Chain A
Amino acid sequence: MDLKLKIWRQAGPDAEGKFVHYPVHNISQDASFLEMMDILNEELVANGEEPVAFDHDCREGICGMCSLFINGYPHGPDDSITTCQLHMRKFKDGETIVIEPWRAKPFPIIKDLMVDRSAFDEIIQAGGYVSINTGGVPDANAIPIKKEHADLAMDAAACIGCGACVAACKNASAMLFVSAKVSQFALLPQGKIEAKLRVENMVAKMDDLGFGNCTNTYACEAECPKDISIANIARMNREFLVAKLS
């Protein structure tokens, strides 16, 4: 198939960016979206031009590195997958595809389609852990956990930290990301001990970093490649309330 790409190019964090048009030809339907980008980049390099910079690594939907905003959707038009799992069979021959970086203040652009998501790491550093050291812990089966709770905790822990939720939200809210981590620990006995401090510190950090408020549009849930549920946000709000009251 032949396609017209309209790609955001920006030389550096402070440079001005603009859309540049690139046609690509003879793309196989079975190629992945990033393989299509590779083909474009190979052509650019062969012509001595700089390739389009974009983040990617595992190319199987788990590392959370890839991050493109494609035709208005984070990770493109297909459901429940990351950009690297998107395949060209989802597009039509001759189609124009608009490719942009995540757009959110707390995620500044580094170059072209790459953004800086270290704000997410900072939120985790504020409390996304159980404060235990290596060694001296009880036998694993000494902490029985209801299967139902373990499964729900796993649903929340499946978050890959890609930032699609923030990119999808008109307020650039990080509530889905933060609540997924808070929920994972809220559902497990290991997380109960520090529950109050954790939710308070993580929420404060999130606000500090300039992420916006949640206004319940559910765009985050709709675009999450891992189907993280907004029920986590409700759970976090409860945790937060309990923390404030105690």
Chain B
Amino acid sequence: MTKLDSKIPAGPLAEKWTNYKAHQNLVNPANKRKIDVIVVGTGLAGGSAAASLSELGFNVKVFCIQDSPRRAHSIAAQGGINAAKNYPNDGDSVYRLFYDTVKGGDYRAREANVYRLAEVSNNIIDQCVAQGVPFAREYGGLLDNRSFGGALVSRTFYARGQTGQQLLLGAYSALSKEINKGSVEMFTRREMMDIVIMDGKARGIIVRNLVTGELERHGAHAVLLATGGYGNVFFLSTNAMTSNGSAAWKAYKRGAYFGDPSFVQIHPTCIPVHGDYQSKLTLMSESLRNDGRIWVPKKKEDAELIQQGKLSPVKIPEEDRDYYLERRYPAFGNLVPRDVASRAAKERCDAGHGVGNTGLAVYLDFKDAINRLGKNVIEARYGNLFQMYEKIVDENPYETPMMIYPAIHYTMGGIWVDYELQSTIPGLFVGGEANFSDHGANRLGASALMQGLSDGYFVLPYTMQNYLADQINIPHFDTNTPEFNQTANDVQGTIDKLFAVNGSKTVDSFHKRLGLIMWDHVGMARNKEGLEKAISEIKELRKEFWENVSVPGEKTGMNVELEKALRVVDFLELGELMARDALDRNESCGGHFREEYKTPEGEAMRDDSKYMYVSAWEYKGADNEPQLHKEPLIYENIEVKQRNYKTA
């Protein structure tokens, strides 16, 4: 059994990373050329890591599902990226960003990792500006900031409502530069199917060429997974259609522990569900909470009339509106963290005050901001989001308040990694949303982009080098070994098995049913009974899938249904582990809300005496239950408290 060693460097918190870098092993420039590194994923984490590793001199092979590295899901991030620059002079510091992140995560993240994240946050902004990322600026020519949830300072840098796009295009430009130089080889429209382990170390991957259908083999001295989050296990989420959990799941099945799988973020401001044909949910950026006020009708009768389409929200007088976040959390108001805002919306809707034709929506109202600042200011700040809303809902949010409802958005859980972002499989590193590391039980807005770029530009190039330093005598890998043959056969076996089912139900129909089980029982509110039910329902669904799924078309050539089927195979297993993890954790923390464990006011109630740990699950084979390992969390630099957003 692998031992859980988080490898946190010794010394005071603020010096750990500096000390690490001062003492780590390095590879001499001439030897770097002898070393191959595989990077799976070209989002912020993968794109930035691949470019930086190549700049150092390693040979890098990069893979992504889309037709271009520029289209990774990071492109969709809207609101912004945090950094502790303190440019607005409003009291920010590395410590405060660290503190807010640990507190926001409800004390379920590792102190040393989060501190490092806060520390390098400033380098990220410098790097991106130097690349030509057009961040928003003030008239004086310096960078502008906005506020995000869970913070009392303005530390969020942004590029209109397209921050993720601009940061990703920055990383993509660095990657393109390295491709041009010849030290990065880019493989697009490829999906990693499995990881090849030799002598206990990650030594390569099997990928499916999505155009030809061929299985290809690639060997390397180390493998980095930067494959994003698994929110699509819920079918409906704000993630892109190809976002998946498969790469992480394959790593888990090859021996990497899965950390905190049940920690999922439900984002409070998404466009509500409107029909059963719906394919995804659209996020309305958190930045809107800077100027929008969230409310529902005070009177149930009003809510009912609105649901029936007989009353317009603009007709409801001020005194009949319940600005419930401002009422419940006076200090943070509309800027409470996401988990708190989501639960509060659910609470009001469950109590019968929801709006929209389903009653599952609340208002996000810009009336006051428009009166105060003028329509043009609001348009300059959020124009593209308002346009996006109008196209989907067919209502003008400048005139009628937006309707929003929580939706699955982000997964804090992921492959367990140590301080070096290395999994329990030596040589397998995991970065970005795919790892579990920095956000505990709830991620603060604008911190995923920060983490992805921190991992990729500033952490992995150091820590991977530390690992690679003793690999310089190992020659380039031959992919004709028994291990490669075996792994490729396993992958082919799954594909053959899928075609052999020859059933009558579509892949999507199973995925939708899985999504409903997950949303009902492993979503915003969880309880023991529901979680147990989810586990047994998922098992049954999995059985039915393997008896009755239909995958038409050929094994060779482009086959989109096969791609989807392969991802759903893994979701059907991953969903069960998520429910299991949620069942183990008899407490509420951050986004993990167990109805049995709450304060009299309905807030999440942690149990630090029993659950102050990271759960790390070990795969024990298809017929056995996974084994739970615990990494205790130790807080030496932060006083652990009940989270409080009512008073500052």
Contacts and interface: CB of A to CB of B under 8 A. Distances in A.
Interface stretch (B289-297, B324-332, B337-345, B552-560): B552-560
Contact of A34 (B71, B179, B279): B279
A134 B127 CA distance: 7
A130 interface: yes
Nearest to B507: A45
Contact of A64 (B70, B140, B505, B509): B70
Contact of A59 (B66, B186, B280, B458): B280
Given A57-B240, A116-B67, A145-B137, A63 B176 contact: no
A110 to B, nearest CB: 6
Given A140-B126, A150-B134, A157-B166, A48 B159 contact: no
A78 B390 CA distance: 13
Contacts of A116: 67
Contacts of B52: 133-134
A49 B504 CA distance: 12
Contacts of A58: 71, 73, 75-76, 240-241
B130 A121 contact: no
Range of interface residues on A (Cβ < 8 Å)? 35 or more
A89 B73 contact: no
A121 B68 contact: yes
A57 B73 contact: yes
Nearest to B165: A62
Interface stretch (A91-99, A184-192, A210-218, A236-244): A184-192
Interface residues of B, number: 84
A200 to B, nearest CB: 14
A140 B139 contact: no
A89 B508 contact: no
A39 interface: yes
A50 interface: yes
Contacts of B186: 121
B371 to A, nearest CB: 25
A101 interface: no
A128 interface: yes
Nearest to A157: B134
Contacts of A245: none
Mostly, the A contact residues are loop
B277 A130 contact: no
B145 to A, nearest CB: 11
Contacts of A157: 134, 159, 166, 169
B127 A137 contact: yes
B492 interface: no
Contacts of B66: 57, 63, 65
Contact of B173 (A39, A128, A144, A147): A128
B132 A154 contact: no
B558 A141 contact: no
B87 interface: yes
A165 interface: no
Given A141-B87, A144-B140, 8 more contacts: A35-B277, A35-B279, A57-B240, A58-B240, A128-B176, A132-B130, A135-B123, A151-B137
